A and B are shown apart, each in its own frame.
Chain A
């Protein structure tokens, strides 16, 4: 760094530090970001502890099994979905959907949509996490620091003097860049500390840092674009706040309305109603009919001993599984509907940087709808293993003792590798820096004279 650069940075820094408003704003942002990160760390630690505690509780519960012959029917199996190493920065859906779930070997569709106990009034306003500080609050701070970057000088009577100096062309971008760097530093310092504590993967950290930097650059660019119009400070602040309101409050909610309307997801309710019907119908029709339906999809069990007189568990499990399979199409449709909503939200992020940043952060944090579906998939996979395990005993009429019960399959949680940057990430980068560059270019033209 040469001497002149050091020189201007020192003077500009001094200028910022002498403004009480700027110092207060920067400190407050640092504080809010630190609090959000801390509270996210606290929450993920709590979730990990809960998972651990419940594993122990579940073990004790399973230890009470004394009649292995009924194990297939009575026993619960525990599954869990631990928060990723980046979950602390965007808690997403983890507060409203289960991250621990117990299932039995019976019909899966009747169990997998089970909800979690949570206080809906507390969930309603949303979590106070880093994603919130970045997406909602950081732009407000950028506006506070940057809306009068030019008009403030005019107000102070220095504008003409400044413009007459040879370095005037560089002045605005330097001044803006310095404020941008300070804001970004206040946002990111606590985040990096949090990532260090959690041991967050480098690819995740890089994506988060670039997302935050880009999103802030977008707002900085926007502030410059408004500032060069030469309006009074109040008019600039008003215009920027209007933009903030429309971009982060109004348009996303309007989009959500449209999406809910255009992509209905009633299949969830319908499939549970239908599955119940299919399951209970089995008691009304000849048992062989059910077995026939079952063997169509599972021929490997066909050549096994025939059903004896009276109740038999293999018939019971067969109709449970037939019940699941009878709604396979609805389950698929339901899932497709959910994913369609997700992908439209992602596409919206190409236009709205707030939505884009939210999508990217929650993807990196692995706390979005796809993460929830991936957890459901891991439950379904485990459930398949459990069924196969018991069918082996049931269909071949093999005896099942405590030592067999000990051999039951164990749940292996899905491993969420740090996701690679996707389209949403690159689109966000392009969109944000486009605005940043536009703001910069406008500030060098100096139309406000």
Chain B
């Protein structure tokens, strides 16, 4: 073992004398710190902003004057998507999704005001976050620092000498790997410290932090392995560098752009326009919930009359108009839920296609792991939309219930009467609180990505071992 550490120490000494390595390391550290500080500040700013808007919207809802309950329903409510603290590490799709959801009866709206439509095209160059630095820039640094690790020895003839002295090929490769992964660990350190701080300050649990730290550690280890492996294959350092740069460009820059293009084409996503027309068509079959005399509600009327044992809706102890509103909302919500679920299913299908390509580019697996753990991926966005919808449905149905119980049918159907209920009702509504994904679900969802990364590690290890053996044999 001491031979291995000696080789590693020697390599380290070379690294500290290498201007590229030192300068690159400093640059990466500064970038990580700037990115972490900026992303943290951004996350806090956005969070407090959205909390402030949410409070404002809650206040507006509660402070409505005496109103007809259905008017209050059309006044509606606004929800603002909260941002997970770990978005300070990997904001994922936060900038690409809307954050303002308007709730109203009879329809489900899209979340609007996403940054992507408000940011000029600069956003498309990527966002400076710790995740971006580690996913894209850190592997590049490892390529520059490590491409010559074995190739240099071969080029200068020292490899032959080492082997002749009885040092094994495995020992050389392991030593170089040790040195490079040590360098990688050092590069990862600022990000790890930032992550650790998020856990210590109680903004995030330890398990997601460990998962993120472990995932990125694995990622950089993968690259260290790949760099040392390819370095031992090429005869010249320059060829190793060009080869590694090509690998980096394909895995980190090219495939993550090309694969979504493919998924986009494989699974077509209907536009909002189309979905709305479809919903409207099906909705026409259901009847108008504003009109208790709509023949589409005849069966419902019969059932209600039977239930209460009366002949006419006027004799009901309850406002039939409110009941029709309730029934109508139930039907249209079911309709919308079905279409929106179908749209999300298609998007999930696209994402699964992309995830399938993680066998080709581990970058995709890392992204899934990172966004999934930071709770900034599509599944978490969908969770918000679905909880928002559940809240909307509950809100509207409570208002319909108030209409059914607090207003009489005679008053409510009299066009000359301005029926209203007391404003104290508005304060009885619960506020919206987003329930984040349970940790077990997050772990289950990110497990496949972790598995893919581990398999990449196993494959690269096997390749490096084979290369090391060949290196040893070349001396004989």
Given the known interface contacts A137-B253, A242-B24, A283-B71, the answer about A54 and B53 at a Cβ–Cβ threshold of 8 Å is no
Count of chain A to chain B residue pairs whose CB atoms are closer than 8 Å in the complex: 234
Specify which of A136, A344, A358 is in contact with B253 (CB 8 Å cutoff). Answer: A136
Bound form: Cα–Cα A233–B241 in Å: 10
Bound form: Cα–Cα A310–B153 in Å: 93
B405 CB to nearest chain A CB (Å): 22
Closest B residue by C-beta to A252: B125
Q: Of the listed stretches B113-121, B198-206, B466-474, name the one at the interface; the rest are far from the partner chain.
A: B113-121
A414 interface residue (CB < 8 Å to B): no
CB pair A310–B416 under 8 Å, yes or no, is yes
Bound form: Cα–Cα A426–B355 in Å: 43
Specify which of B20, B120, B132 is in contact with A369 (CB 8 Å cutoff). Answer: B120
CB pair B60–A126 under 8 Å, yes or no, is no
Bound form: Cα–Cα A411–B93 in Å: 34
Residues of A within 8 A of B136 (CB): 249
Q: Of the listed stretches A254-262, A429-437, A439-447, name the one at the interface; the rest are far from the partner chain.
A: A254-262
Q: Of the listed stretches B74-82, B304-312, B313-321, B329-337, name the one at the interface; the rest are far from the partner chain.
A: B74-82
Residues of B within 8 A of A241 (CB): 140, 144, 245
Given the known interface contacts A257-B128, A358-B121, the answer about A237 and B96 at a Cβ–Cβ threshold of 8 Å is no
Closest B residue by C-beta to A355: B122
B206 CB to nearest chain A CB (Å): 27
A262 CB to nearest chain B CB (Å): 13
Closest A residue by C-beta to B98: A115
Given the known interface contacts A21-B242, A121-B260, A137-B253, the answer about A115 and B114 at a Cβ–Cβ threshold of 8 Å is yes
Closest B residue by C-beta to A283: B71
Q: Of the listed stretches A5-13, A92-100, A399-407, name the one at the interface; the rest are far from the partner chain.
A: A92-100
Q: Of the listed stretches B210-218, B261-269, B430-438, name the one at the interface; the rest are far from the partner chain.
A: B261-269
B238 interface residue (CB < 8 Å to A): yes
0 or 1 for each of A138-179: is its CB under 8 Å from B? (1 = yes):
001000100010000000000000000000000000000000
Specify which of A125, A249, A255 is in contact with B137 (CB 8 Å cutoff). Answer: A249
Closest A residue by C-beta to B124: A126
Taking CB atoms and an 8 Å cut-off, the chain B residues in 331-362 that contact chain A are: 343, 347, 350-351, 354
B258 interface residue (CB < 8 Å to A): yes
Given the known interface contacts A257-B38, A342-B120, the answer about A117 and B269 at a Cβ–Cβ threshold of 8 Å is yes
Cβ contacts A to B, 14 pairs, < 8 Å: A39-B261, A54-B274, A64-B284, A78-B273, A98-B272, A114-B112, A116-B271, A118-B269, A121-B371, A235-B20, A253-B128, A253-B132, A256-B122, A260-B115
Q: Which residue numbers of A lie inside 8 Å of B, CB to CB? A: 21, 32, 39, 42, 50, 54, 57-58, 61, 64, 78, 92-93, 96-98, 100-102, 110, 113-128, 132, 136-137, 140, 144, 148, 233-235, 237-238, 241-242, 245, 248-250, 252-257, 259-260, 265-266, 268-269, 272-273, 276-277, 280, 283-284, 309-311, 337-338, 341-342, 344-345, 348, 354-355, 358-359, 362, 368-369, 372
